[in-house]
């Protein structure tokens, strides 16, 4: 591990000042410390933000939900408002990592986490994300777990977060505070596709702090849920996943929010699936026909061709689970 300095910020102003001098924020540390141990990340200065007052879950005036950036994954998953208003978020969190990690890791850290591509974490391998311009070992290496959507010739790594898939489906907004004040970024613009700059993963400016993630109010009743398909049933990343939320009135689907994980370089919103559902009556044939559109545009690699079909089946199954047939 490379030497670094450590400061614990007492308040937001102190944190922003320390970050302005080049410090990196750390809270739960469940990703960053691992990466520092492996020398993938080599920050010279850490700013501990765990004492900042960003640990509340509140219902917004419009009936949405605001989850503070320092709410832990376990706290968010167990929060009564999260459980009742957006079960898809609770389920995505509970299917993530391990209980120990969920007790430490925060919502802000979760959406800032870096890819689990094994070549990224192996400092002897070529990796454009870690070392821009060095190449991508995964392109012609073992890429079974890699992305089939949103890839570029520079990087094909998936985004690892489960709850980010739920946030993408629900069209959340990320609240940021920086030297120039506050701003809000739609979740669809927050996580960046690799393009020609895979080292840039989030739309966060130098020194900016995530303060909260806000979920918009959606029409009620809203049924939602998360399905994760993986090689083993615990402590494993998704091969595919589906976050689904449906508002059904009089038997007709009025609103559909659907996104997929494990397949894209970012959580993958599925507008074609959503469009196929809205205005229709739920039925077995509807779920299958809508899910058929889930893998549109997919570009499989040597070892992950199975993901396109698995994605369609994952989406179909979760539409059926959430929507039923009545
Ligand atoms: Fe690096 Fe991305 Fe290639 Fe993995 S897929 S080796 S993260 S450039």
Question: For ligand 1, atom 1, which residue shows the shortest CA distance?
Answer: 127
CA separation, residue 199 to residues 14, 82, 89, 202, 321 (Å):
27, 33, 28, 9, 37
Q: Whose CA is nearest to atom 7 of ligand 1?
A: 120
CA of 128 to the centre of ligand 1 (A): 6
- 128 Cα nearest atom in ligand 1: 8
What local confidence, expressed as pLDDT, does residue 74 receive? 98
136 lines ligand 1 (CB under 6 A): yes
Domains in the chain, ordered, with CATH? 223-323 (3.30.390.50)
Distance, C-alpha 137 to centroid of its chain: 24
pLDDT in tens, the chain (326 residues): 799 999 999 999 999 999 999 999 999 999 999 999 999 999 999 999 999 999 999 999 999 999 999 999 999 999 999 999 999 999 999 999 999 999 999 999 999 999 999 999 999 999 999 999 999 999 999 999 999 999 999 999 999 999 999 999 999 999 999 999 999 999 999 999 999 999 999 999 999 999 999 999 999 999 999 999 999 988 899 999 999 999 999 999 999 999 999 999 999 999 999 999 999 999 999 999 999 999 999 999 999 999 999 999 999 999 999 998 64
> What integer pLDDT is reported at residue 91 of this predicted model?
98
Cβ atoms 105, 162 nearer than 8 A: no
pLDDT at position 1, please? 79
Tell me how far apart the alpha carbons of residues 171 and 214 are, in angstroms, rounded to a whole number.
9
The 10 Å CB-count burial string (b at 16+, else e) for 195-229 is eeebeebbebeebbbbbbbbbeebeeebbbbbbbb
Cα of 203 vs centre of ligand 1, distance in Å, is: 19
* Nearest in space to 245 (alpha carbons), one of 212, 269, 265, 266: 269
Pocket test for ligand 1, best of 38, 124, 138 (most atoms within 8 A of CB): 138
């Amino acid at each position: 591990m490379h030497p670094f300095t450590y400061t614990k910020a007492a308040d937001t102003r102190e944190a922003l000042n320390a970050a302005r001098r080049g410090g990196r924020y750390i809270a739960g540390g469940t990703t960053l410390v691992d990466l520092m141990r492996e020398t993938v990340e080599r920050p010279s200065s850490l700013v501990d933000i765990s004492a900042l007052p960003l640990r509340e879950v509140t219902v917004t005036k419009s009936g949405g939900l605001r989850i503070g950036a320092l709410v832990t994954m376990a706290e968010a998953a167990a929060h009564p408002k999260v459980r009742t208003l957006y079960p898809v978020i609770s389920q995505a969190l509970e299917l993530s990592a391990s209980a120990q990690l969920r007790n430490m890791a925060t919502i802000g850290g979760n959406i800032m986490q870096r890819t689990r591509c094994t070549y990224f974490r192996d400092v002897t391998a070529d990796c454009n994300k870690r070392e821009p311009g060095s190449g991508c070992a995964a392109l012609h290496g073992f890429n079974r777990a890699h992305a089939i959507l949103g890839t570029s010739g520079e990087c094909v790594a998936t985004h690892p977060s489960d709850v980010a898939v739920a946030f993408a489906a629900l069209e959340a907004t990320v609240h940021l505070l920086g030297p120039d004040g506050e701003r809000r970024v739609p979740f669809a613009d927050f996580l960046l596709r690799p393009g020609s700059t895979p080292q840039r993963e989030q739309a966060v400016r130098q020194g900016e702090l995530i303060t909260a993630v806000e979920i918009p109010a959606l029409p009620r009743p809203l049924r939602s849920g998360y399905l994760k398909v993986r090689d083993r049933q615990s402590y494993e990343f998704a091969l595919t996943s589906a976050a689904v939320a449906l508002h059904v009135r009089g038997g007709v689907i009025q609103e559909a929010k659907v996104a997929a994980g494990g397949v894209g370089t970012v959580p993958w919103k599925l507008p074609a699936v959503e469009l196929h559902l809205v205005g229709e009556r739920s039925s077995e044939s509807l779920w299958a026909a809508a899910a058929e559109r889930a893998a549109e545009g997919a570009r499989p690699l040597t070892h992950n061709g199975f993901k396109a079909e698995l994605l369609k089946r994952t989406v179909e199954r979760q539409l059926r689970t959430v929507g039923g047939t009545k």
